[in-house]
Amino acid sequence: MKTLENHAETVSALVWLPDGSGFMSGSLDRKIILWDKEGELRESWNDIAIRVTDAAVTPDVRRLVAVGMGYNPPTALARVNVRDASPLIVSNGDGNAVALRSPENRMIIYDLKTRQVELSVHMEGELTSVKISEDSRYALINHAPDEIHLWDLEEFRLTRKFTELQQGHYVIRSCFGGITGNFVISGSEDRNVYVWHRDTGLLLEVLEGHGLGSVNSVAWNPRKKRMFASCSDDNTIRVWEAPVSAGGLLGVRYLCVRGRDDWKEKGQSKATLGL
């Protein structure tokens, strides 16, 4: 076992390269590090423009998409009465005031080979999650309050916004899914799971089943394309599956989907669900 200690603040993102040759870490210290699979440092990107909260590498290993809070160094001001100042002005201890500029949330797309920035976009609201589609075309960004943004990585434009979920106080994560990757699912602070059609933005289903608290994250099974899982503040992980008889997930709006830990409560069984 090896302990890697090259970051100076919270390490908030960790992602393996799709070919398994190494992995990348991102941190609030404004540093992204590329490691080989043995944990040896290969490259360090220092003093980048954001304090990284999440990051993802495209399956074709061409790009890195990172989201986070912009870094704005404090600005010294003339002497003021700090007690009468705004909440963004504090004393630096010598009688002068320092303005703490509010952080600027930003998404940055890097060329992974050259480390050059291809696109840097300012966004209002907190950015908590980034996922990449299997074809490397799209990035899915969870954006508080109450939105998920779909970005086209080839045309460098915002393609669609998915709404109606609740996200304002906690980290919520989403993902792509379905047989052709044509669905978007996300947790929500209202204890539900939301399912949209990726290309139309149509909300297909709001799945109930979790207890009190937020549904924090979702993950689609990479091999069994009718199955995904969700996890929640209610201390459970629930696995959902659409019946094979639906003829593919295009009928997800009309499917009976159950959480596996709900079998006994609802009188369902593996045989009934076709699992």
Instruction: Give the angle 56-156-64 at the CA atoms, nearest 5°.
Output: 20
Judged against a pLDDT cut of 60, whether residue 159 lies above it is answered with: yes
Contact (Cβ atoms closer than 8 angstroms) between residue 128 and residue 142? yes
27-74 confidence digits (pLDDT tens): 999 999 999 999 999 999 999 999 999 999 999 999 999 999 987 665
Residue of 71, 105, 107, 76 lying closest to 89 (CA atoms)? 76
Structure tokens at 15: 């992602």
Band of the pLDDT at 90, cuts 50, 70, 90? very low
pLDDT value at residue 225: 86
DSSP conformational letter for 98: E
Lowest mean pLDDT among 68-72, 108-112, 161-165, 257-261: 257-261
Sign of CA dihedral 158, 107, 237, 182: positive
Contact (Cβ atoms closer than 8 angstroms) between residue 57 and residue 63? yes
What residues form DSSP beta bridges with 84?
none
Q: How far is CA 68 from CA 53, 108, 140, 170, in A?
A: 5, 9, 14, 15
Contact (Cβ atoms closer than 8 angstroms) between residue 48 and residue 64? no
What DSSP string describes 239-257? EEE--GGGSSGGGGGG---
Q: Does the model's pTM come out above 0.85?
A: no
Check residues 244 and 77 and name the one with the higher pLDDT. Answer: 244
> Could you identify the residue written with the tokens 């979702």?
218
106-156 confidence digits (pLDDT tens): 999 999 999 999 999 999 889 999 999 999 999 999 999 999 999 999 999
Contact (Cβ atoms closer than 8 angstroms) between residue 47 and residue 54? no
b/e 185-220 (16+ beta carbons within 10 angstroms → b): bbbbbbbbbbbbbbeeeebbbebebbeeebbbbbbb
Check residues 99 and 212 and name the one with the higher pLDDT. Answer: 212
State what percent of residues in the chain have pLDDT above 70. 76
Contact (Cβ atoms closer than 8 angstroms) between residue 243 and residue 274? yes
> Could you identify the residue written with the tokens 């379905």?
178
